[in-house]
A and B are shown apart, each in its own frame.
Chain A
């Protein structure tokens, strides 16, 4: 028996060491960039970031590169990205929750076929719709004077539409686990479907709503294509700005490194704080 436990203990130690090594490898690229963003310009151009890690006291540390990134408009981009991300998360959730409710609790003709097409839409590449939507928005401006392109609203609409299939899918899967008897009881008490939705279903669906919200927020925050096409340079988001910085890195990796870090602070915080919900969302449905 003792031998058995010894094997288990070795097994555990071996696993820990192997996994720790892998974790170090996995984190190294990110750590390298973070260290670089905090170093002095000349030193960072002269030696690799690992030298700074091995000799932290013989180094000049500075926040200059962050100053430079901020001067380059990185903070404005941070705000623009927030202004795009929050509505682009809430809007599809409201619409999807309603639709998921209908798919779960209301019998209607063609429900199965509609749901199957929804699953198929989950796979459809974003690119398949972008140019016609862009042309359509330009046409709207010419004909009715409604200016969508270049404004945040266009990104909200496109993000919302492309989030819907997955959102409805995840929310419906969750709603199917809710007790039907509760809803029937509410019906007998005279509540309308509309009241049941807002007063019963929404509060009970909070876990699924939270997990999709995080998922969608990260997706929109990290998106480049939609923001580039529909919002453009005037209100350039973080990914846009970062790509421009990357294109002109003639003056070293410093500014790019600092810019990347400003861009990933919020998603990483959201991720670590709400990881639980995020994981639940992933396991509940497929991913875009």
Chain B
């Protein structure tokens, strides 16, 4: 009970407090001469955001990079030793391969499903469209851990002799096959692909919503013109609609790539990184919380950041581009 009271008090204090901070900043700025006021005005609105970002995200980020050159306990400088250890470890190379597979498959398939859903939904009439889209979109509001539970049940492999209560194995047995412990089969990285399905399931709705909005914004005349020229639906889609929504496709793709690079919770919930399913996000967690290896986990994060950096640049470019359109 006391926690709830603490929470409510904190909410009130937090809102009143942050309001008071801005009031105080404004008050202080207005005490100054008019000329100085002009210069400091922006600061009175930006200061809290800047302080929070610098203290909680920018400085710690540089600290992490620095620690990646230190030993387990972040005490002694070891140069590139952490990186050398990682890149000569076959497990870690397997992890990089997994991350690569995630990025190679999940974003493209997510965009593909999004396009299929968006197109189908466009043809079914507004009422059905709304309901069906909501149902496909719903997993978006579920946590990765809950999704891991839902799919863990679907892939369930009971001890021998027990009945199949997991859907996948039941289907396999009904088709005459034998039940498999799916999540521990790593040949061809099958288990990693089974985890990817979960993330695709979660993200397809997002992709659908974004692409559907873009498709609806395509001018009707361009489609009509192609139709008069005798183009079929598929032809219209590929050569009229897709070129006009390329920007949205790219942005959904990039967003999914970034999300997939950082994937962590699903792996934690479903396999705990076992059976060669680990990824960078999980390896970071394991090195720090299981092995208490600060230097090592910092090096893993730094590698992750280096891999994400080009996307950062793409993101800035897309943002600029959107501004120009406006």
Q: Do the two shown chains form a genuine complex with each other?
A: yes
Interface residues, chain A, CB within 8 Å of chain B? 11-12, 15-16, 18-20, 22-23, 26-30, 32-33, 36, 44-50, 79-80, 82-83, 86-87, 90-91, 94-96, 98-99, 101-103, 106-108, 111, 116, 119-133, 136, 152-153, 156-158, 160-162, 164-165, 168-169, 176, 192-194, 197, 218, 221-225, 235, 238-239, 242-243, 246, 253, 256-257, 259-260, 263-264, 267-268, 270-272, 275, 279, 282-283, 286-288
Q: What does the 1/0 interface line of B105-122 toward A look like (CB < 8 Å)?
A: 000000000001101110
Residues A131 and B146 in contact in the complex (CB < 8 Å), given A50-B167, A286-B255: no
Number of A-B contacts (CB under 8 A): 312
| Chain A nearest CB, measured from B36 CB (Å) | 13
Q: Are A119 and B319 in contact (CB under 8 A)?
A: yes
- Chain A contact residues, majority secondary structure: helix
Residues A45 and B165 in contact in the complex (CB < 8 Å), given A33-B153, A95-B49, A287-B255: yes
Residue ID in chain A nearest B119 by CB atoms: A15
| Chain B nearest CB, measured from A113 CB (Å) | 11
Q: Are B149 and A26 in contact (CB under 8 A)?
A: no
Q: Are B10 and A87 in contact (CB under 8 A)?
A: yes
Q: What does the 1/0 interface line of B125-166 toward A look like (CB < 8 Å)?
A: 100100010111111111111101111111010000011111
Q: Are A86 and B11 in contact (CB under 8 A)?
A: yes
9 pairs of A and B residues whose beta carbons are closest in the complex:
A83-B7, A222-B143, A161-B56, A132-B60, A271-B141, A129-B60, A15-B123, A108-B42, A102-B45
Q: How large is the interface on B (under 10, 10 to 19, 20 to 34, 35 or more residues)?
A: 35 or more
Q: Are A225 and B148 in contact (CB under 8 A)?
A: no
Q: Are A239 and B132 in contact (CB under 8 A)?
A: no
Instruction: Check if B67 is an interface residue, CB within 8 A of chain A.
Output: yes
Q: What does the 1/0 interface line of B152-191 toward A look like (CB < 8 Å)?
A: 1110100000111111001000000000000000000000
| Chain A nearest CB, measured from B298 CB (Å) | 7
- Chain B contact residues, majority secondary structure: helix
Contacts of A224 in B (CB 8 A): 143-145, 265, 268
Contacts of B138 in A (CB 8 A): 27, 30, 268, 271-272
Residues A126 and B262 in contact in the complex (CB < 8 Å), given A98-B48, A106-B42, A263-B143: yes
Q: How far is the CA of A80 from the CA of B316 in the complex (A)?
A: 37
Q: What does the 1/0 interface line of B306-318 toward A look like (CB < 8 Å)?
A: 0010011001101
Instruction: List 24 interface pairs A-B (beta carbons < 8 Å), by A numbering.
Output: A23-B136, A26-B204, A29-B153, A48-B164, A48-B166, A49-B167, A87-B7, A111-B42, A119-B319, A120-B316, A127-B284, A127-B285, A128-B64, A128-B302, A161-B55, A162-B57, A176-B326, A222-B146, A242-B145, A253-B165, A259-B149, A264-B146, A272-B138, A283-B210
Contacts of B116 in A (CB 8 A): 22
Interface residues of B in 19-71 (CB under 8 A from A): 19, 22-23, 26, 30, 39, 41-46, 48-50, 52-53, 55-61, 63-64, 67
Q: How far is the CA of A209 from the CA of B119 in the complex (A)?
A: 30
Q: Are B121 and A48 in contact (CB under 8 A)?
A: no
Residues A87 and B45 in contact in the complex (CB < 8 Å), given A125-B305, A176-B326: no
